[in-house]
Amino acid sequence: MITKTGYAALAALFLLPACGGDTGLPDVTQLYEPEPIRTRGVGPPGADPDSCYGKDASPAVIETVTHQVMMQPAEIAADGAVLYPAVYKTETVQEIVEPRRELWFETICAEDLTPEFIASLQRALAARDHYSGTVTGEMTARTRHAIRAYQKPQGLDSAILSLAAARQLGLMQVERIEE
C-alpha cells in the first residue's frame, strides 16, 4: 500500500527530469560503457614490455539448430503405395557459429591519458560527429562510447583508444621509419 507521501515521492521522481527544461526522456548517450582493461607490458606474445596494450574480447556466437534425422526409411510397395512412412527423430544441438575472439592492440598508456589529452580527444571526436557532450577532460562513459563509435567501422569494437586511432585523430605522433 502506497501512502500519500509515497505517491508524492513517486511523482517527484518522474517530474524531476523535467525541471531542467529537457524532454524528460533518458539520455541514451549515457548508456553504461564499462571501464576498459589496459595493461603495460602485458600483451600478445612478443609484445614490447614498454608499450601498453588493450584487449578486445568477443564472446562466441552460439546458435541452436534443429535437425530431422531419419531413423527408418519409408517402406514402399511395388505399385508405389507407402506401406510404412519414414520414421524421423528431431535432434536439437547448439553449434558455435563464431568462436570466441581475443584481439590485442597497442594503446595509450594510462599515465598519458591526462585531462588535456582527453579534452583534445573529446574535441577530435566531436569534430567527427562522434562526441556530443561537454569537453570535460574526463574519461566518461560518453567519451568511451564515442571512442567505440569511431573505431568500430575500422574493425575495432572497443572503448579503449588504440594507438592507431589516436594517430588518425592527430593526437599522437606517427613514428617515422628511417631508411
Mean pLDDT of 2-30: 49
Query: What does the chain look like in DSSP terms, one character per residue?
Result: ---HHHHHHHHHHHHGGGGGTS-S---GGG---PPPPEEES--STT--TTSEEEEEEEPPEEEEEEEEEEEEPPEE-TTS-EEE--EEEEEEEEEEEE--EEEEEEE--GGG--HHHHHHHHHHHHHTTS--S---SS--HHHHHHHHHHHGGGT---SSPBHHHHHHTTSSPPPPPP-
Res. 152 pLDDT band, cuts 50 70 90 = very high
% of the chain exceeding 70 in pLDDT:
74
Res. 18 pLDDT band, cuts 50 70 90 = very low
pLDDT, tens digit (0-9, with 9 covering 90-100), for 98-138: 999 888 899 988 888 999 999 999 999 999 999 998 999 99
